[in-house]
Amino acid sequence: MSVPLLSRRMASCSISNRTASASTKHVSHALNLAPAFSTSCKASQAPIPTPVMPQAQAEARTEPPKDLFELAVRYPRHPLLGFFEKVTNTIYSSHPFHPSKGVNKGTKQPYGADLPASVRDSDFGTPYQWGRSWKVPELRTKSSVVLHQLWYTCLFECNKMATTNAEIRRVGLARNAEQAGCNIEKRKHSVRKTMARIKFVLNERRLSLQQAIKEAKEAEIEDGVNVEEEPAEAEKSVRLTRQQRIKKLKKLYKQGQSLEEAKLLEQVNANELLAQERGPDPTAFDGIAEAELRQKINAADA
């Protein structure tokens, strides 16, 4: 081995030893400085308190439900259950209020409950059949209270379908659901159409009510009723307008009665003239016999 090569190796070994000694010095210095960065707060050194049951739960003495079945049995109308479809399941238990406790004890009886399910078996396989949306003429026959109830029922259905759609996408079965005929979007579209038509019918009623109120106020102003008057004066003016209307109606009735009598007399005279011209066998004028005309005249005079 030549001398220059040996000198190079010795120089490289000396450099590596220097870097190793420098790194060990930095590590020891960091370890010496570590206690300086540690906290001395009393809160961090205090012991962790043991978990305690809230006073409300301790005084209630009611155990929370252990599983989903027990939750559905004890609280069948829980608000959060409205976001899920319901699937009927049966469990055999001897405990009426806590079915999960008495599964293996005593005499077992079947208990059924509608458990929430984000995705049902019927969503896959055969295409799901659903009804059509409500039409506007059908909704117009319903009261406003029924329309509000129907709107919130449709809203619950939209929430259920949104939960099912989100669960299918989360699991990654969107393509399989499409192949299996899971038409959630079409069902949601039909429900949305019903909700939009309900709002249309309610808006029609609102506008018609506003128009009726406006016309009533204009009619009162035309009849001489000032809306801003005192209640007593307004009532008095309304009475006067009613009396005036009654007088007008009486006059019109008398005029109509006199006109009817005049027409009947003209018809009788015309029948008499025709009877004189035609001979002893008179015929009725315009399909009305003379005897009937006489009876009508007598009834009008009475």
127-159 pLDDT per residue, tens: 556 778 899 999 999 999 999 999 999 998 898
| Residue found by looking up tokens 């506003």 in the block | 210
Q: What DSSP designation does 47 have?
A: P
| Residue found by looking up tokens 């099912």 in the block | 164
- Quote the CA–CA distance of 284 and 272 in Å, as a whole number: 10
Distances, alpha carbon 29 to alpha carbons 18, 26, 38, 46, in Å: 17, 5, 16, 30
- Quote the CA–CA distance of 291 and 271 in Å, as a whole number: 11
- Quote the CA–CA distance of 288 and 267 in Å, as a whole number: 9
Question: Which segments of 15-61 are extended strands (E)?
Answer: none
pLDDT on residue 283: 47
Among 37-46, 48-57, 86-95, 157-166, the range scoring the smallest mean pLDDT is 37-46
Distances, alpha carbon 123 to alpha carbons 118, 120, 188, 276, in Å: 10, 5, 14, 92
Q: What is the largest CA-CA distance in the chain?
A: 171
pLDDT on residue 225: 53
| Residue found by looking up tokens 């406006």 in the block | 214
248, containing H or E segment: helix 231-278
- Quote the CA–CA distance of 245 and 233 in Å, as a whole number: 18
Q: What DSSP designation does 181 have?
A: T
Q: Is the pLDDT of residue 302 over 70?
A: no
pLDDT tens digits, one per residue of 246-267: 777 777 777 777 777 777 777 7
71 Cβ contact list (under 8 Å, min separation 6): 65, 78
pLDDT on residue 199: 94
C-alpha angle 209/210/211, rounded to 5°?
90
Output the CA torsion sign for 53, 55, 61, 62: negative
pLDDT on residue 109: 65
Where along the chain do its domains lie? 64-117, 119-222, 231-301
- Quote the CA–CA distance of 297 and 302 in Å, as a whole number: 9
pLDDT on residue 301: 62
Give φ, ψ of 115 to 5 degrees. Answer: -85, 145
One-letter amino acid identity for 237? Answer: S
Q: What mean pLDDT, rounded, does the chain reach?
A: 70
> Are 272 and 265 spatial neighbours (Cβ–Cβ below 8 Å)?
no
pLDDT on residue 64: 73
Q: Is the pLDDT of residue 2 over 50?
A: no
What residues does 111 pair with on adjacent strands? Answer: 91
| Residue found by looking up tokens 């799901």 in the block | 128
What residues does 87 pair with on adjacent strands? Answer: 115
